Amino acid sequence: MCGLLLGGVLGCGLGLGLLLHWLMPAIDLGIAMLSGHRATGVALLTCGQLLTFAEAEEAPPPVWRLRPLPCVEGLPYSVVC
């Protein structure tokens, strides 16, 4: 399964790279394929994040709370207490 997914990602990136190189021949084939793989990866990452965002439940409130820092008198540049 993982091999099929990896092959699909690489094939899609290769196809996008070849299309980019065909549309703009000034772009080298290697850079075009790199751009295609990058675009495919970003699209898959975004799709995965959107799918997990749709299934997410409301997060519980945090258990910890931030406490204010103690005031120290006599330090230069300190916030007035």
Q: Residue-wise pLDDT tens for the chain (81 aa)?
A: 567 767 777 787 888 888 888 888 888 888 888 888 888 888 888 888 877 776 656 766 777 777 777 776 766 665 555
Q: Virtual CA dihedral for 23, 29, 34, 38, nearest 10 degrees?
A: 10
Instruction: Give the C-alpha separation, 29 to 67, whole Å.
Output: 56
Global pTM reads: 0.52
Q: Is residue 81 part of a domain?
A: no
Q: Is residue 78 part of a domain?
A: no
Q: Is residue 54 part of a domain?
A: no
Beta carbons within 8 Å of 28's beta carbon, 6+ residues apart: 21
37 in Cβ contact with 11 (< 8 Å): no
Q: Is residue 25 part of a domain?
A: yes
Total domains in the fold of the chain: 1
Q: Which two tokens stand for residue 40?
A: 């495919």
